[in-house]
Amino acid sequence: MARAATTTDVFNAVAEPRRRQILDVLVDGERAVNDLARLLGSAQPQVSKHLRVLREVGVVDVRDDGRQRLYRLNGHALKPIHDWVKRYERMWAERFDQLDAVLEELKENEEN
Amino acid sequence: MTSSTGTAVVTLPTDEQILITREFNAPKRLVYRAWTTPDLVKRWWSGRRGTMTSVEIDLRVGGRWRYVMAVGSGGGEIAFHGEFREIVPEEKIVTTEVFEMAGVTDADEGAPLNTVTFSERDGRTTLTLLTHCDNKQLRDMILESGMEAGMQEQMDLLEELAISLR
- In-domain check, residue A1: no
The string of DSSP letters for A20-58 reads: HHHHHHHTT--EEHHHHHHHHTS-HHHHHHHHHHHHHTT
* B152 close to A (CB below 8 A): no
Q: Structure pTM? A: 0.67
pLDDT in tens, B111-157: 899 999 999 999 999 999 999 998 888 888 788 765 444 333 444 44
- In-domain check, residue A94: yes
pLDDT in tens, B24-46: 999 999 999 999 999 999 999 98
- In-domain check, residue A38: yes
* Residue A99 structural domain: 10-111
The predicted model gives B46-65 an average pLDDT of: 92
The band of A112, judged by pLDDT with boundaries at 50, 70 and 90, is confident
- In-domain check, residue A3: no
* B156 close to A (CB below 8 A): no
Q: Among all residues of chain A, which has the CA nearest to that of B9?
A: A89
Q: Phi and psi at residue B95, in whole multiples of 5°?
A: -135, 160
Overall domain count for chain A: 1
- In-domain check, residue A32: yes
The CATH number of the domain where A80 resides is what? 1.10.10.10
Q: Phi and psi at residue A85, in whole multiples of 5°?
A: -65, -35
- In-domain check, residue A5: no
The predicted model gives B74-101 an average pLDDT of: 89
Q: Which residues, 6+ apart, have CB-to-CB distance to B148 below 8 Å?
A: B49
The predicted model gives B53-78 an average pLDDT of: 88
Which among B27, B47, B30, B45 has a CA at the least distance from the CA of B121?
B27
Chain A: closest CA distance from residue B54 (Å)? 16
* A109 close to B (CB below 8 A): no
Q: At B127, is the secondary structure helix, strand, or coil?
A: strand
Q: Among all residues of chain A, which has the CA nearest to that of B164?
A: A97
